[in-house]
Amino acid sequence: MASDAPLLEIDSLFKAFGGVRAIEDVTFSIQPKTITGLIGPNGAGKTTLFNLITGIFPADSGTIRLKGQPVNGKAVHDLVKMGIARTFQNVELFSSMSVLENILVGLHSRTTCGLLGSVLKTPRIRNEERMARQKASELLEFVGLSDHADRKSGNLPFGWQRLLELARALASEPDLILLDEPAAGLNMSETDMLGELIQNIRKQGVTVLLVEHDMALTMRVCDQIIVLDRGRKIAEGPPRVVQSDEAVMAAYLGKPK
């Protein structure tokens, strides 16, 4: 793949719920190893767009391509295998399971052991399990939760739960990771740490697409910003350009056009 071929291409995407046009003719592309911010007022269609990209529901029309491959209509778990991972706006951990186990579930798409394998416990399966645990420990170290591997994930403080969810998403070795308001509910120092972490994720070769209301964070970490308003893309470009865009100001502040 040439370095300038986009990782994600979205072409004239439409999605309506009943009479409400949630996404209307949205087109953009994301270059590999970049951080893209998706912003817009409440109800602009950001989360809908996330759900379309991750296959939660299908688009009415238009195409989504990952590494040139169309992903429309594929099941959620197949998209994970193709390289799309995500986190949720309201952290969705497996709360009865330990921190380490959460990451091990995250490795599901990169491991193979089935029912029969788990019963027979062949050397190959034992080896796979050992590798998975090794990888999970590394990921815990990456987000700084190594000391809490055996704690029940539901008992972690909220900020750590966000980090754990991030590590769990990274476990599937994604090319593209979608973060839905990763800074929501975090305090300032936690948000700073998160910003650093997002940049470290990019350094590892993972492309990031994030929805975020914390403008300071978005402007600081993103290479590119896409602005949605009422389902339409109204601006796109580097943070500085978008910040001074008149349509964006109007969407946010209600200034007459």
Partner 1 sequence: MIRTDTHTIACIVFAAAALATGILIDDAYYLQVLIFIGINTLLALSLNMLMGYAGQISLGHAAFYGIGAYTTAILSTTYNLSPWLALPIAIFAAVTVAYIVGIPTLRLTGYYLGMGTLGFGMIVSIIFREWYSVTGGASGFVGIPPLEIGSFSFDTDQRYFFLVWGVVLFFFIICRRIVDSRVGRALRAIHDGEHAAAAVGVNTAAMKLSIFVLSAAMASLAGFLYAHQVFFISPETFSFLASIRIVTMVVIGGMASIWGSLLGASLLTLLPEWLHAFADYEMMVYGLVLMLVMIFLPQGLTRGIIDLYEKSRKNRNK
Identified binder of partner 1 from the candidate list 81, 152, 230, 232, rule CB under 8 A: 81
Q: Assess 92 for contact with partner 1 (CB under 8 A).
A: yes
- The nearest distance, CB 114 to partner 1, in angstroms, is 6
Q: Assess 201 for contact with partner 1 (CB under 8 A).
A: no
- The nearest distance, CB 80 to partner 1, in angstroms, is 4
Task: State the amino acid at position 158 in one-letter form.
Answer: F
Site for partner 1 in 102-121 (CB under 8 A): 104-106, 108-109, 111, 113-115, 117-119, 121
Phi and psi, residue 177, nearest 5°: -120, 130
- The nearest distance, CB 109 to partner 1, in angstroms, is 3
Phi and psi, residue 178, nearest 5°: -105, 120
DSSP 8-state code for residue 172: T
Window contacting partner 1 (CB under 8 A); options: 11-19, 79-87, 197-205, 217-225: 79-87
Identified binder of partner 1 from the candidate list 35, 171, 177, 228, rule CB under 8 A: 171
Task: State the amino acid at position 98 in one-letter form.
Answer: S
- Contact present, 30 and 36 (Cβ < 8 Å): yes
Identified binder of partner 1 from the candidate list 20, 76, 131, 216, rule CB under 8 A: 76
In angstroms, the CA 218 to CA 239 distance is 8
Closest residue by Cα to residue 117 from 105, 103, 127, 104: 127
- The nearest distance, CB 53 to partner 1, in angstroms, is 12
Q: Assess 152 for contact with partner 1 (CB under 8 A).
A: no
Burial class (CB in 10 A: 0-12, 13-18, 19+), 121: exposed
Q: Assess 123 for contact with partner 1 (CB under 8 A).
A: no
Kindly list the residues in this chain that would bind partner 1 in the complex (CB under 8 A).
Answer: 54, 56, 75-77, 80-81, 85-86, 88, 92-97, 101, 104-106, 108-109, 111, 113-115, 117-119, 121, 125, 128-129, 132, 168-169, 171-172
